Amino acid sequence: MMESERLKNIQANILGYHYKEHVKCIFIRFTEKGEPIFRWINKLSDQLTTAEMERRAYFEFKDKGTNPIKESLNFYLSSRGLQFIGCKKKEERNPADAAFWEGMAQRAIILDDPLAMDLEKEWAHHFFHAMIMIASDDDKALNSIQNEIEDELENEKLGKVIHVETGKALFQPSTKKRIEHFGFRDGLSKLNFYKNNGDKKVYPPEIVLDEQDGSYLVFRKLKQDVKKFEDRIRNLCFKLKIPEEYANARIVGRFKNGESLSGLNKPSEKNSDPYRVDFSLDEEGMKCPYHAHIRKSNPRSLDEKLIHRIGIPYGERGGSNVGLLFMCMQKDIKNQFEHIQVKWMNNENFPEPGSGIDPIAGQKVSLHRCHAPRRVRDLGPSYVRKEANELNGTVALMGGEYFYAASISWLRELKPFEEGVIEQKVAFSDSYDFEGSYSMINNQIY
Q: Residue 30 pLDDT more than 60?
A: yes
pLDDT band at 92 (very low <50, low <70, confident <90, very high): confident
Domain boundaries, the chain: 4-171+186-223+399-424, 226-307+314-396
Residue 363 has a CB neighbour count (10 Å cut-off) of 19
Angstrom distance (rounded) from CA 18 to CA 71: 9
pLDDT at 354 over 80: yes
Residues linked to residue 29 through DSSP beta bridges, in sequence order: 160
pLDDT score recorded for residue 58: 85
Kindly state the greatest CA–CA separation across the chain: 75
Question: Alpha-carbon distance 349 to 206, whole Å?
Answer: 30
CB 334 within 8 A of CB 97: yes
pLDDT in tens, 371-380: 544 444 444 4
Other beta carbons less than 10 A from residue 257's beta carbon: 18
In whole angstroms, how far apart are CA 272 and each of 58, 258, 280? 24, 9, 17
**How confident is the model at residue 115, as a pLDDT?**
86
Q: Does residue 439 carry a pLDDT above 50?
A: no
pLDDT value of position 437: 34
Tell me the mean pLDDT in the region 316-334.
Answer: 97
E strand or H helix at 353, and its extent? Answer: none
- Are the C-beta atoms of residues 13 and 23 closer than 8 Å to each other? no
pLDDT band (50, 70, 90) for residue 263: low
Mean pLDDT for 195-215 is: 85
Distance CA(146)–CA(5), nearest Å, equals 30
CA dihedral for 131, 137, 140, 141, sign (positive or negative): negative
Q: Which residue has the higher pLDDT, 116 or 208?
A: 208
Per-residue pLDDT band for 240 (boundaries 50, 70, 90) equals confident
Residue 192 has, within 13 A of its CA and on its CB side, a CA count of 13
25 DSSP 8-state letter: E
For residue 63, how many other CB atoms are within 10 A of its CB?
A: 8
Residue in 328, 16, 25 with CA at minimum distance from that of residue 168: 25
% pLDDT > 70, the chain:
84
Handedness of CA 28, 31, 37, 43 (dihedral sign): negative
Considering only CA atoms, which of 218, 373, 233, 219 is closest in space to residue 291? 373
Asked whether the CA dihedral 10, 16, 21, 24 is positive or negative, the reply is positive
Residue 203: the pLDDT is 92
Residue with more model confidence, 389 or 311: 311
Query: Rounded mean pLDDT of 385-400?
Result: 73
DSSP 114: P
pTM: 0.89
The one-letter amino acid at 231: D
Band (287; pLDDT cuts 50, 70, 90): confident
Q: What are phi and psi of 414, to 5 degrees?
A: -65, 130
Q: Are 371 and 388 in contact (CB under 8 A)?
A: yes
* pLDDT score at 93: 83
* 46, pLDDT greater than 60: yes
The residues, any chain, with a CB within 8 Å of residue 29's CB and separated by 6 or more, are 126, 127, 128, 129, 159, 160, 162
Residue 278: predicted pLDDT: 75
Average pLDDT over residues 192-198: 73
Residue 308 has pLDDT above 90, yes or no: yes
Predicted confidence at residue 427, as pLDDT, reads 37
Which among 165, 187, 217, 179 has a CA at the least distance from the CA of 321?
165
